[in-house]
Structure 1
């Protein structure tokens, strides 16, 4: 496993999330769909724990792919994991929580893009 690629994947996920949930993309819609309230918490704690989760996800995905995945397979696996596992699992929770389909699309879309990005990095950098 290329540890540097895994760390880069985690960093890229973190940066993607910053853009994805910013007002430039889906931040306003996400906020509306969550009832208009921005969750509270100490920024260092929120960002630090979020980065650790990104790192765990990148390591798990790299382990899942194996040491030298071909790019096409890594991208396809990223789409399957992001949409077919993570977003689908969110969909179950969101139905029981009575959350909107728009919120599911924003959050599920982010995680699908996240794992495809993981696949891109891990498929290119062995």
Structure 2
């Protein structure tokens, strides 16, 4: 994977991770919990090191592949970078999540919460690649 900017990748992964903290915390945390049927006590029972550690590693994987895709195109405008970044979410991630939610009969509200997160996740990573790439 030539031409990858590892600093941009780590910062992009961190940006996506921070988006998740805000999105599933103060913005939509309670609604997300309600849609899943979770209580505060349920969430406290999780292995936080595993959950957050694995989530950050998966964010790095996403940032690596987005960075690789963007590097393939060479120098681009900020608009093009953002269109590709958000386009990945709109064209690949959101439909995949939607398909899973249809078959698992998850609510439309939960889909909107999670789909919105993935759009902002990739937008945040794209913005980092605009600034640092």
Is TM (by shorter chain) over 0.5? yes
Q: Find the aligned partners of 2:7 and 2:81 in 1 and give their Cα distance.
A: 17
Q: Which has the higher helix share?
A: 2
- Name 1:110's counterpart in structure 2: 117
The answer to whether the 8 A contact 1:83-1:112 is kept is yes
Please list every run of 5 or more consecutive structure 2 residues that lacks an aligned counterpart in the other structure. none
Q: How many residues align?
A: 125
Which stretch has the larger CA shift, 37-46 or 96-105? 37-46
Q: Find the aligned partners of 1:111 and 1:19 in 2 and give their Cα distance.
A: 13
1:48 aligns with 2:53: yes
Q: Which stretches of structure 1, 4 residues or more, deviate above 6 A after TM superposition?
A: none
- Name 1:17's counterpart in structure 2: 20
Structural RMSD (CA) = 1.3
Tell me the SS of whatever aligns to 1:69: coil
Q: Find the aligned partners of 1:16 and 1:3 in 2 and give their Cα distance.
A: 20
- Name 1:28's counterpart in structure 2: 30
The answer to whether the 8 A contact 2:16-2:59 is kept is yes
The answer to whether the 8 A contact 1:7-1:58 is kept is yes
The answer to whether the 8 A contact 1:69-1:122 is kept is no
Indicate which of 46, 62, 72 corresponds to 2:67. 62
Query: Rg: which structure is higher?
Result: 2
